[in-house]
Amino acid sequence: MRAQPQFPNEQTGTGEFKRQSDAFRHWVTEDGRSGYPAAAGRYHLYVSLACPWAHRTIIVRALKGLTEVIGMTVVDPIRDDQGWAFHNGPGHSLDTTNGFHFLSEAYRATDPNYHGRVTVPVLWDTVTKRIVTNSDDDLMRIFNGEFNRFTTSRLDLYPAALRPQIDEMNDFVYERVNDGVYRAGFATSQQVYERAARSVFVALDQLDTRLRDRRYLFGAQFVESDWRLFVTLLRFDAVYHGHFKCNLRRIVDYPHLYGYLRDLYQVKGIAETVDFDHIKRHYYVTHDDINPTRIVPIGPQLDLESPHGRDTLS
């Protein structure tokens, strides 16, 4: 008997998970040529602290000093049949920007004929009353470069000299790690699961080797690829190892990846973007086809504040 897929519309007949494309891909630009000019207070970010794709945008917003420029509302980590909801609770709240009860209302306001899955993150424009983009890829780049006149941060996560290499690394990390764990976890056949899970660990082995003699993926300074990888490494032992059955090894078993994870976690402002309660409750409660008891595990205990020793690497 074939298992019930978590997202039937994104499952192939052979049991593979094929993630849907982002629905909205407009761009905020510094000069406004896109129709969405960068402005303080104009845009609002809807996110889940549990979702790795949303977490990337939260991180860049924090690193670039945009927390007072771009507002943010966190959804309830428990997503039910009605989708992402706005409730008051620990680390999440009602939507005071639009009064939405569900994030799906933002999608319908933008496109009344939208029938795909409602996802986070979402960047909402308070002037045109519509979604600008629900692409985390675009939002990382928008936050990195288009709001620079509203922040004192000169950090550049996508430096021109490294862009071809960053793009190549991003593709590798997405295909083999970020989405790889989902392809394993949402697989509905043994063969598909094993192929996806083994591919994840081949990639992690390669990344651990790469990080043996360099502090970050491209040397002494982190770039956007590092944060794309970070959000999956952070969730790996708590969720993907058990819940998604990616259990050949844990991240704590990798000497270089585990130090690298701790190094990034200890960057100023990053720990404040992490909420393991939201992460674990979202996955273990929401994915009831995978975890029908909805029991949330008490572990693992991760000491992400312990010394990493990587600051001596070039």
Active site members: 51, 182
Residue of 144, 138, 180 lying closest to 160 (CA atoms): 144
**What is the rounded (10 degree) CA torsion for 199, 136, 118, 96?**
140
- d(C-alpha 113, C-alpha 115), whole Å: 6
Length of the chain: 314
Residue type, 60: V
With tokens 């949303």, the residue in question is 54
- d(C-alpha 241, C-alpha 246), whole Å: 4
SS3 174: helix
With tokens 């390669």, the residue in question is 206
CB 65 within 8 A of CB 94: no
With tokens 């000093």, the residue in question is 65
